[in-house]
Amino acid sequence: MRDVLGIVLGLVARLWLATLRLDVRLSPEAEAALADARPWILAFWHGRQFPLLAWRRRRPTAVLVSLSADGTMQARALAMLGMDVLRGSSSRGGSRAMMRLVRLLCRGDHDAAFAIDGPRGPLGIAKPGVRFAARSASALVVPMGAAARRAVVFRRAWDQFVLPWPGSKVTVTLGAPLGAEAGLDAIEAAVASEVARAEACLGRGPSWPGGKRPW
């Protein structure tokens, strides 16, 4: 049943994403790195991931999805959106899935996408998985941001999930890549800066739930 729901979700998401008016802003450093042979790890905050799916990635991209029942639905939907899905979570199969991801990156024909504060938060706090993957695969960490002109924000969700309205203008930004030696603080700050840049492209100031910190 979850597989069927995932297929339906994937179809709806494809139609939804096709309506968005996408504005992609690459920093000069990200533009120059497009031809870099090293794998990319696309780093972003949980909750801002939906608009990022509208961006045409430079090559096949892998993502980790939990082994939970909801993860089964999510995995099916993401596969329909063109992602290569590896299953595993921090509590079940996570180490094996991470090593499979690293081997895939080391092959040289895939990138990876990481919600770096997931899968359970806290929101905006980077976890060590992204740094481990980057160092193990000698990958570049590319910080990403996203913002929508009109969107529903699910305030009760831990990740404050942002769902743009169909037809809304969305901005996706890619910042200067960070080397594999970058620390979590640097990665966290770079992603926060890119979300703030995406918001600024839509004429808004930075925002953060509760006013605690900028996106």
The helix (H) or strand (E) run that includes residue 209 is none
Condensed to tens digits (0 to 9), the pLDDT of residues 173-194 reads 999 999 999 999 999 999 999 9
Confidence at residue 212, expressed as pLDDT on a 0 to 100 scale: 39
* Over residues 76-95, mean pLDDT: 81
Residue 205 has pLDDT above 80, yes or no: no
DSSP string, 97-127: HHHHHHHHHHHTS-EEEEETTTTT--TT---
Domains of the chain: 2-202 (3.40.1130.10)
DSSP string, 150-199: SEEE-TTSTT--EEEPTT-EEEEEE---B-TT--HHHHHHHHHHHHHHHH
Residue 106 has pLDDT above 60, yes or no: yes
pTM beyond cutoff 0.75 = yes
Q: How sure is the predictor about 1, in pLDDT bands with cuts at 50, 70 and 90?
A: confident
Confidence at residue 211, expressed as pLDDT on a 0 to 100 scale: 40
Confidence at residue 89, expressed as pLDDT on a 0 to 100 scale: 61
Token output for 47: 């909750």
Condensed to tens digits (0 to 9), the pLDDT of residues 54-71 reads 999 999 999 998 888 778
Q: Which residue has the higher pLDDT, 57 or 209?
A: 57
Do residues 40 and 112 lie in contact, with contact meaning Cβ atoms separated by under 8 Å? yes
Residue 210 has pLDDT above 70, yes or no: no
d(CA 55, CA 24): 7
d(CA 206, CA 170): 15
